[in-house]
Structure 1
Amino acid sequence: MNRTKILFKTMMKLYFSAIFKTEKAKVSAFLVFLAMLPIGALLLVSLSSLMSVAYSILEPANQQSLILAIAFLITGLLLLLLSVPAGLTAFYFSDDIENYLPMPFHPYQILIGKSLPPLLTTYALGALMLVPVLGIYGSLDGIRIFYIINSLFIFLLFPLIPFILSSLLVMFLMRFANISKNKDRIRVLAGVFSLAFVVGINVVVRLNTDSGGVAQETGKWMEQQDHFLWNITKILPNVYIGTKALSTSGWVSLLFLFLFILCTLVLVGLFIWGGQKLYYKGVLGLSGSGKGKVVANIEQTSISRSVIRTYTLKEIRTIFRTPAFFINCIVQGLFAPMLLLIILFMDDGLGSMAPSLSTMEDKSILLAAFFFSVFVLGSNPTASSAISRDGPRWFVNLYLPIQPLTIIYGKAIAAMIIEGITIIILTLLFVFFLPVPPLVITLWAILIVAASWFSSLIGIYYDLDDPKLEWLDEQEVFKTRFTPLISFVVQLFSLGCVVLVVWLLPFINNVWGVFLLMGITLAVAIWIADHRLQKKVKEQYCLIYEKQ
């Protein structure tokens, strides 16, 4: 046990020192926290209103505990699925695995230590989903001492069970699957499957939701279900036990809390036993030989290209061929367009949106489409990870006979091309599925291409200012730093303020005036961003590797 504590503490220090290595990282984290407070407050108010309506509907049938059950079930399923790719990366595909294998540790001890990064991500997501629900439900149902105690214990233990179940599944598959030749493909499939699961839940929920009659029929339907709570939580039994612990009182509540703790301890023991039996065999299976090398004739395959074009193609190939980069830069960038498409087709969203758009002015449609597109493009981390993706290989750029600005602009063009995939999908949605006037679509396309270049310059500027080159796993480029979030907040705030001002200006009443003013603003913003980026390159390009 002492060795386990030492190993876990060591890995914790290494992990947190990588996140908050400099004072700049701490200040950035604080500023991001302040910037997210208004958004969090708005979401909290919306959630409180929704839960109040649901509570008033379910309380006459004495089924208000279903609010907790559904929240626990959705959170548990999301944590279960999202922990699969995180567990694969942390347990098997991180570059420091081989450093721990020769050490005098049992397999389960290394497994517990390596659980820190994905477990922290699991707890962060669980806190975002459960803490507001538990607080709001407690205020609606009446704050009780047993509820407060049980909520604390359940929150601390609930994310463990989905994480352990996903980890056991990963260990079992890695033990018996021959993945030495296809580990990159497995990581891509795991990430795509998790994202598809999230979208699939949205589809199923919307297909089975009648927005017109749900308020009247829900209460009557619940009264006819004797075991409805158990029926919807049987997938994860801890959901049922946790719901009962919070919806009952007295000694019954404490009894369910004891069962919840007991269930968690049993699964923790199973996790340790499974790690001891399966983990090393799965890790050793990674050392198999890969695909045979192919010897190419360089003279026949070489093509004369410009330097910036060659470097841009190299960046794009790296993103497509690296599973973590592909999932974070491309797959997640498609989430918002897919969600918009689902909204349009489910619950007659397309039919209800068409009259609204037909009554809106072209000016308003252009500004709304532009702001939504800026939100989607700003959340793409391709540009804000351009420098960090090179990792320890960054120093190679210092010896290449290429001008620094050529390398930086090559990365910016690659980021813009990746964002262009999302722009094309949004264009198809606006053209074929929404009654947006052709003139508005044309003007929007011109503006959003300019905004994409601005987004690329801003993202690379902040990544160049504070890159992360010392990483052992590609996921650290995205999950243990605040640069992508800072870049997103800056873009959303700056362009969002411009959109708001143009929207409120009384003397701009037509779409051409909006286009002209937005175009001038974007041109000035691009010039400022480019000027600051060039200055940052001259100051820091050769100092980046020395500062790591």
Structure 2
Amino acid sequence: MHKFLSLTRVTLKNSMGMLSDGNSKKLTTILLYGFLGICMLPLMFALYFFVDTMLTNFHFLDQDATILALTFYICCFVTFFFAIFLVPSIFFFSNDGETLLALPLKPEVILGSKFITVLIYEYSFVFMVLLPSVAAIIKHGDLGIVSILAILLVFLLLPIYPLVLSSIISLLVMCFVPFFKNRDRFNLISSGCTIVLALGFAIYVNSASFTQSNPQELMELLLSGNNSLIAVLGYLFPNAIFAAKAIVENDILQLIFFLLISFVSLLLCLLLAKAIYFKGLIGFSETNSNRKKLSHQELGKAAHQKNRIITYTKKELKLLFRTPAYMMNCVATTFIVPILMLLIPLVQGVTIDASLLPQEIMAMMNDYWYYFLIGGIVIGLFIGNMGLVSSTSISREGTNLIFMKYIPMPLKDQLFAKVLSGVFLAVITDILTIVLFGFLFPIFPLPMLILTLAASLVSTVLANYIGIYLDLSHPKLVWEQEATAVKNSISGIIAMFGGWGCAALVGIAAYMLPNEIIKYASIALLIAMLILSCILHHKMDSFAFKQFKKY
């Protein structure tokens, strides 16, 4: 037990260092995470009102546990989804693997300490979902002693079962499929499979076969009461169902089942680790390199002098496309939105025939051009930092940041090239989104779509400049894996959620303000964005020079 506690403490200390940029003061880091927590409050309030409304509507049908089980189910599913990536990186791909193998430690002790680390990571999301859900259920009923005890235990133990599932999958894959022992290969294939599964799930849920299947059965389950609708959720995560019933029904037996599932699954995971963990931990590699010998002609062509900004931008883009972690987290995510826009309506059979609309409506759209302007601004703000390209461009340099100081190229040009790489990918997404939108809903005039695209370009450029300023202020230069530089970057998270928040504010303002004000406000906002982008570009060199002195 002493070895387990000591190793857990050391593992937690090292892993929490992944959340720091290695440069900022503790107070600054705490304030940034506090700001991020404040940004999550609207989402928590929205979830609370959703659960509260659902409980109000379903209470007279005696389906309270179904609503609570649904939130627990979502929590378990998202925990499992993120653990698929987090578990291998901490269990197998961390740099302490060889050191731990040389120490007199049992495999179950090592895996147990790493499991605690992953569990603490997951608590941040679990609490964000559980707090509003449990607050809503407390409001709607008198809870007994068993229910109160169940709430406390659910907060602590709900993520264990989905983490055990992902841990067992990782143990079996790493032990019996040596092909995945290359980190880049594993990240690329697992990320690709996850995106395909997520898209497939979204398409299936939105398909007619799902939404129209067995409506009579669902109605009978709904009206029969006694939380019978809970059977629709299935039993992939039975702990969520038992936890919900224990809280709503004040049932000690359901609580015991929940505890048994959590602890027995964890015990099985540790026994499996004892048998195969070391076998899976041995023989890992970082990357594979193909050493190609260049001919004299190829070398002369490659060394030919070109425009330095274009060359540096190509270097950034090649790095994004050739590094699997960056490819999946920065490039692939930017194309998910247009793909979903195209596939989901096609699966649902949603089409609009423009010939059926009166010509007066078609002509009227030209009079409301400012709404297309606002739409373009919202699209650019939403997509601008969604791929985390510019907002992690400094963090991705890591310990090689000194390279930027010594190459014979002005710092301003290097930073501008990094911004261009982010703008390039974001603009492609803007174009695809607007073109697909025009394809699915061919009722909008072509000039209005072009206006939307132009406005999105302006807001996209501004979003990327703000992203690189944030990363210059708080770069995450200390990391073990490329994915950490993107996923755990505070600047990237703030840039992405900040952009989404600004897009929401612009959209809400356009909805609430009268047309006459929107007409002039949209032009003023676009001009202000252009001016701010020019100012940020002009001041970027001096700001970066000041920040680079701190690194």
TM-score by length of 1: 0.86
Match of 1:426, SS state, is helix
Q: Which residue of 1 aligns with 2:401?
A: 394
Between the aligned partners of 1:68 and 1:492, the Cα distance in structure 2 is 28
The aligned runs of 1:532-547 (5 Å cut-off) are 532-541=539-548, 543-545=549-551
Q: Alpha-carbon deviations, 1:487-528, whole Å to 9, x = none?
A: 235545666666666773654576xx6764343122112023
The more displaced of 164-173 and 375-384 is 375-384
Q: Which residue of 1 aligns with 2:305?
A: 304
1:432 to 439, 446, 453: 439
- Structure 2 vs 1, CA of residues 180 and 327 (structure 1 numbering), >3 Å: closer, same or farther? closer
Do residues 385 (structure 1) and 392 (structure 2) align?
yes
Question: Residue 230 of structure 1: CA displacement?
Answer: 4.7
The aligned runs of 1:66-145 (5 Å cut-off) are 66-116=66-116, 118-145=118-145
- Structure 2 vs 1, CA of residues 118 and 299 (structure 1 numbering), >3 Å: closer, same or farther? farther
Q: Which residue of 2 aligns with 1:257?
A: 255
Q: Which residue of 1 aligns with 2:526?
A: 519
Question: Residue 50 of structure 1: CA displacement?
Answer: 4.0
2:421 to 392, 414, 417: 414
2:374 maps to amino acid:
L
2:473–2:547 Cα contact (<8 Å) kept = yes
Q: Which residue of 1 aligns with 2:477?
A: 469
Question: Residue 233 of structure 1: CA displacement?
Answer: 2.9
The aligned runs of 1:104-253 (5 Å cut-off) are 104-116=104-116, 118-179=118-179, 182-207=182-207, 218-223=218-223, 229-230=230-231, 232-249=233-250, 253=251
Match of 1:65, SS state, is helix
Between the aligned partners of 2:74 and 2:497, the Cα distance in structure 1 is 28
Question: Residue 537 of structure 1: CA displacement?
Answer: 1.4
Match of 2:64, SS state, is coil
1:48 to 31, 34, 52: 52
Give unmatched runs, 5+ long, in structure 1: none
Match of 1:331, SS state, is helix
Q: Alpha-carbon deviations, 1:232-270, whole Å to 9, x = none?
A: 432233233223322323xxx122212221221111112
Between the aligned partners of 2:287 and 2:516, the Cα distance in structure 1 is 69
Question: Residue 65 of structure 1: CA displacement?
Answer: 2.2
The more displaced of 336-345 and 89-98 is 336-345
Q: Percent identity between the aligned chains?
A: 23
CA RMSD of aligned residues (A): 3.4
Do residues 482 (structure 1) and 490 (structure 2) align?
yes
1:453 maps to amino acid:
V
Match of 1:470, SS state, is coil
Question: Residue 116 of structure 1: CA displacement?
Answer: 4.9
Q: Which residue of 2 aligns with 1:8?
A: 8
Match of 1:471, SS state, is coil
1:402 maps to amino acid:
M
1:138–1:147 Cα contact (<8 Å) kept = no
Question: Residue 349 of structure 1: CA displacement?
Answer: 5.5
Question: Residue 458 of structure 1: CA displacement?
Answer: 0.9
Question: Residue 327 of structure 1: CA displacement?
Answer: 1.9
1:181–1:290 Cα contact (<8 Å) kept = no
Q: Which residue of 1 aligns with 2:329?
A: 328
- Structure 2 vs 1, CA of residues 178 and 496 (structure 1 numbering), >3 Å: closer, same or farther? closer
The aligned runs of 1:501-512 (5 Å cut-off) are 504=513, 507=516
Q: Alpha-carbon deviations, 1:141-168, whole Å to 9, x = none?
A: 4433322221221231111111111111
The more displaced of 458-467 and 392-401 is 392-401
1:436 maps to amino acid:
F
TM-score by length of 2: 0.86
Q: Alpha-carbon deviations, 1:146-202, whole Å to 9, x = none?
A: 222212212311111111111111110110112267542321221232233333333
Between the aligned partners of 2:190 and 2:292, the Cα distance in structure 1 is 28
Between the aligned partners of 1:345 and 1:51, the Cα distance in structure 2 is 33
1:239 maps to amino acid:
A
Aligned residues: 535
1:279 maps to amino acid:
Y
Question: Residue 225 of structure 1: CA displacement?
Answer: 9.9
